[in-house]
Every structure is written in C-alpha cells, then in structure tokens.
Amino acid sequence: MKEFLDIRNLTFAYPDAVAPLLDNVSLHCQPGWTGIVGPNGGGKTTLLKLISADLLPSQGTIHRPGPVHYAAQDMEDKPDGLSELILNFDKPIIRIRNQLQIQSDWLERWETLSFGERKRCQIGVALATQPTVLLLDEPSNHLDFSSKTILIETLQSFKGVGLIVSHDRLLLDTLCSHTLFIEPPKVDWRACSYSIAIQERERELAALVHERREVTRTVKKLKRRSQEQRQKAGAADKKRSKQGLHRKDHDAKARIDAGRLTGKDGIQGRLYQRVQRRLQRAEEQQRTMQVKKNYRLGITYIENTRSHKFPLTIPAARLALGDTFLLNPELTVAAGEKIGLIGDNGSGKSTFVNYLVTSLPLQTDEVIYIPQEIPTDSVDALLKRIHTVNDAEKGDMMIIIRRLGSEPARLLETTMPSPGEARKLLLAFGLQKKPALIIMDEPTNHMDLPSIECLEKALGECGCALLLVSHDYIFLQHLVSYFWNFQRHGRAYRISPSYSIPL
C-alpha cells in the first residue's frame, strides 16, 4: 500500500462563490509533518476538511493511504473516544496518556479543564485511533509554553503523514520538515521548515523584482529604438517613392528602381519589423512576470509628545488568584520601553494587566488596552466611533491598517470584523491619539501568520512603550528586550524581572 497522501488536480468552490477557493492543486505528502500557513479565509481549514472527506472536491482526486483523523480547532465538547483513552490500560494507550500528561480525573472535570488540557485530550484521542494521516487545526492556540512543549514532543513521535495548520512559528520550525503556503486559489509547497521557506521566497521575490526591472528597462529601450527605426523606415519609404518627381527625371527614377531591385532601400523597414518583434516578446515577458505589490509596513512616531509621563510606576500589590495570590513588586516602565509578560496559564498575567490598566496614572487617550477577547459591544461601539472621525483621521487610520496587513477600505466598511480584524481596528483607532503606552493581552491569538508578521513589524517601529502578554515567544523575542516572568513560589505567584526567556 502507498504510504503517502496524494492529491491530484484538486479544485473546490463553495456553492455561492464566484471563483474556486482552491484550483487545480496537486500535492504529494510523505510521512512526517507539513505545516500549512496562509491568510484567514484562504482555504487552510477547507483543505483539511477535503482530505478528511468532510467536504467533497469539485474536481480532482485524493488518495488516502489509510485512516484519517481530523482534530478541529474548536474544543467546546468532549472529543469522541475520551472515555476509552482515559479508562483503557493497554500499553500503547498508557504511553499516550503519559506523553501528554493526561490525568485520570479529566473525564469528570472536563468543564473545568483549561484549553491546553482539553487540547491534549483531543490529541490523545486522535493518536489512540492510530491514524495513518493526522490533521490538526491550530493545536497550539492559547497554550502556554509548558503545554506547547508537551504537545510538540508528543507529535514528534507520530510516524504517519501529518498536516498542521498553525500560526505558531516555534511549532512550525520545531515540528515540520515541509511547508505549504496557501495563496488562493494556488499553493506553494516547500521541502523545508517555515523560516527557511520564508527566506527562500524572499530571495526568489527579490530576484523576480530585479528581473522584472531589467525587462522593464529593455521594453523602454526597445520602444525608443522602435520609434527611431520607424522614422528611418518612413524616410526610406519616402525616398523609394516616385511621387513628386518630374516626369522627365529619368536618372532619379532609375536610382529608385535600382534600390528596389537590390533591396537596399528596404533594409530600414526590415530593421523596424525586427525591433517590433523583440519589443512584443519583451512586453509579453513583462506581462507574465507578476509581482505582488508590497506596501510599507511599520508605524513610526516622529514626535514624542508623551515622554513627560515617564517613568511610569506600578505600585506593589497582592492580587487574588482563586485559592492563591499574585505578589508583584513595585515596577517601572521607561519611555519607549518594550516589555514581555510571560508565564504559564493561571499564573496571573491577565489579572495583573486588569490591575495595571486601572492603577496607571494615564488618561484614556494616553493608553491603548487590547484584551485577549474583545467583547462584541466594545467592537460595536468602536465601529460607531470610527464613523464619526474626520477625513484626515480616517486617512491616517487607513495607512495604519494597510501597514498592519489588511485592506483598509474593506475593513473600515465591515459591520462584523473578525477577532483579528477587531484588534487591528482598535489599534489603528488608538494610535491616532499618539498614546504613551500600548498594552496587548495575547495579541497574536485569532491572527493568521501574515498578519502576525505585519503586527510585529508595526509594533517594532512604534515609538511608544509596549507591554505584551504572549505565549508566542518568537513574537516576543523579535520585539522586546526585557521580561516580567510570572512564576510560582510556594503558595503564591511572583513577578520576576528578567532579560531573557527562561526556557
């Protein structure tokens, strides 16, 4: 039996769609992990559902080498097979439970389990079915570093064909030896990890841009030559014409006849035709060399109108965390300082941020706070406020939204932005006020990888201070130079300043 997943000439369109989401896609996936990345709504989950046969292709074939298990992103309900996973004492099942550190009481405690614990149950059930093809959709969402490490170590032991949709660069680079970029309706498959694939694509794009620039120069040069040659050919044609000669000027008529006979006077015309053919070939080459337009990224403040507000002092406090508590010492934030807040789930990061927002000596327009989940009524209120801003402010917002990787006109007109789009709108609106501080709780959640990289670039060039709560350590390492680490000490959690991520 073939041990690979084979997709040939796959086309899929949703019933009301104008164009197919995937068009004539062919893939050949061997055992090992392939990371799937691309924009939200680009077809990543659709591809997994086509492979799992939850959706049927419009055209094409999918050869599945054996059983397929699809683990969806949603984790509200208990996965089918959880009872067997926890109550079965066969050696392979016990090994899966031990790898994922699944506890015996999790079946009864499902409603109180964290997302990370639920995700480990889902992965355990999937592995217990012994699939040949395993499909995972955003398995590391909301996971802290400890849970993510457990997940990666477990998935590395899977011997079948694995496809994983993820925006987590640490997971993609650690786990995946192949990368699939979905750029609807086409795909781009690379036999390397995500970071290496990105470097390859950037080099290829730079080479293509250079080549297209050279072709454009050639087209301009040939157009000038064509015009010059056309004028020469016209002059030569005029010389070959007997029109205007005196009817008794036999010598002039003889010279024209001799030139026509030898073909000498037709050379300029032939040269013109040759240049035209070269120009047509160059213009065709130019048309086929499509280069996606890249917009400038980054948000830079020239004036620093809030520097007098710094340093900010955060008073020491003891904050309740269920049956335990969080102790934070007096902390300070300097002007323009970028700080990452790290720690396991439940260590008090979000509780501390809520305390921070209410205790800082800043006015509403001096701080941007974007929570982990933005309530629907807050999004509705934001949309109403956006429609009241003047044209100049709206123009500035459109520039910022473009630099965050979204189409501004569409996003400003939407009445139901996605969670990721709502973050961009809130950030763009707040930046109009030239804030002193931006606080974001898990900013990469609900964002696709292209948007995360745009946000990373934007925040990196933003001149105001940043406090970022995140489990995306690559995101933090690209942005911050200082950390507040939330760690357990005995019965309590404490905040410990650090210049590196303690892995």
pLDDT at 54 over 70: yes
- CATH superfamily to which 307-498 belongs: P-loop containing nucleotide triphosphate hydrolases (3.40.50.300)
Residue 9 is predicted with a pLDDT of 97
User: What does the alpha-carbon distance between residue 414 and residue 386 come to, in Å, rounded to a whole number?
Assistant: 11
Given pLDDT bands bounded at 50, 70 and 90, which one contains residue 154? Answer: very high
Residue 214 is predicted with a pLDDT of 85
The continuous run of DSSP H or E covering 401 comes out as: helix 391-403
Residue 295 is predicted with a pLDDT of 44
Higher pLDDT, 248 or 403: 403
Given pLDDT bands bounded at 50, 70 and 90, which one contains residue 93? Answer: very high
User: What does the alpha-carbon distance between residue 25 and residue 328 come to, in Å, rounded to a whole number?
Assistant: 54
Token digits of residue 35 = 């990371």
Beta bridge partners of 55: none
Q: Thinking of the domain 5-192, which architecture would CATH place it in?
A: 3-Layer(aba) Sandwich (3.40)
End-to-end CA distance of the chain: 42
DSSP 8-state secondary structure symbol assigned to residue 111: G
418-437 per-position pLDDT tens digit: 778 888 888 888 888 788 89
State the average pLDDT over residues 390-396.
Answer: 86
Beta bridge partners of 179: 35, 190
Judge whether 186 and 42 are in contact, CB under 8 Å. Answer: no
Residue 451 is predicted with a pLDDT of 86
* Residue 112 phi, psi dihedral angles, 5° rounding: -100, 0
Residue 35 is predicted with a pLDDT of 97
Measure the CA dihedral 15/16/21/24, to 10°.
50
35-51 per-position pLDDT tens digit: 999 887 788 999 999 99
Higher pLDDT, 39 or 303: 39
pTM: 0.77
Reduced to 3 DSSP states, what percent helix, strand and coil does the chain have, rounded to the nearest 5?
Answer: 45, 20, 35
Residue 50 is predicted with a pLDDT of 97
Mean pLDDT, the chain, as a whole number?
A: 84
Q: Which of 45-49, 130-134, 370-374 has the lowest mean pLDDT?
A: 370-374
State the average pLDDT over residues 5-15.
Answer: 94
Q: Which of 204-213, 215-224, 266-275 has the lowest mean pLDDT?
A: 266-275
Beta bridge partners of 439: 369, 467
